[in-house]
Structure 1
Amino acid sequence: MTSLSQTTILSPKARGYVTQLTQHFGHKIRVEHVESESECTAVFHFSAGTAHVRADEKSLTLSARAATVGQLRQVEDIIGAHLERFAFREDLRVVWSEENSIE
């Protein structure tokens, strides 16, 4: 089973935050980053699980996936804390949804 959680955050700087997260974590872990005119996406491969981040001109959608709920919380904490730190001027807060179990 896999645990999954997700959240969407409104921000006019969403795309910039994805780029900032990608640059920050790209030195430490494997990161896949794709940009187009309408959106940018990134996948962060942490040892505990993965975080998928998608941004358009007005919002960020974050999803975290891991094998256990404990590992899911680690991924949520890592990506959420970094995003909040990078977005401190907006006082952005990451609040994750309840996790769902997937086969």
Structure 2
Amino acid sequence: MTQTSTGSTATQKASGYLLQLCKHWSHKAEVSFTPEAGDIRFPNGNHLSLTAHSDHLAMRLDVPEDADLAQFQDVVDKHILRFAFREDLEISWAAA
């Protein structure tokens, strides 16, 4: 069983952030990506899927039942906000 949440942030630079996240985590996770979609699978079972749209970046987190979903959301948030320091992004998450 897994825990899942979906997130989104409005931005015109979704593809750029998707590529940055995938490249950043490629040294510690199994990563595949195109400019439109990214998939990051961490050794601990956490999984992040990204989809770049023209006006927002959509995200889906899946973590094992015994993992801390809120902590993983926070890690993803901090990385996006660090990459997007020129923008004032609002990231929203919802249980899926």
Shorter-chain TM band: 0.7 to 0.9
Deviation at 1:33, TM superposition (A): 0.6
Deviation at 1:69, TM superposition (A): 6.2
Residue 17 of structure 2 is aligned to residue 21 of structure 1: no
Q: Would the aligned equivalents of 2:6 and 2:60 in 1 still touch at CA under 8 Å? A: yes
Query: Following the alignment from structure 2 to structure 1, what is the Cα–Cα distance between the partners of residues 59 and 66?
Result: 17
Query: Following the alignment from structure 1 to structure 2, what is the Cα–Cα distance between the partners of residues 70 and 29?
Result: 17
Q: How does 1:71-90 map to 2 (within 5 A)?
A: 71-90=68-87
* Amino acid across the alignment from 1:27: H
Aligned length: 95
Match of 2:47 among 50, 62, 66: 50
Deviation at 1:71, TM superposition (A): 3.1
Q: Could you tell me which runs of 5 or more consecutive residues in structure 1 were left unpaired when the two chains were aligned.
A: none
Q: Flag the 1:73–1:48 CA change in 2: closer, same or farther, 3 A.
A: farther
Query: Following the alignment from structure 2 to structure 1, what is the Cα–Cα distance between the partners of residues 83 and 34?
Result: 20
Provide Cα deviations, 1:44-91, integer angstroms capped at 9, x if missing partner. 112241011100222100110012264322331222210111112112
Query: Following the alignment from structure 1 to structure 2, what is the Cα–Cα distance between the partners of residues 78 and 55?
Result: 19
Identity percentage over the alignment?
Answer: 31
Q: Would the aligned equivalents of 1:51 and 1:63 in 2 still touch at CA under 8 Å? A: yes
Q: Flag the 1:69–1:59 CA change in 2: closer, same or farther, 3 A.
A: farther
SS at match of 1:7: strand
Q: Compute the RMSD of aligned alpha carbons.
A: 1.7
Q: Could you tell me which runs of 5 or more consecutive residues in structure 2 were left unpaired when the two chains were aligned.
A: none
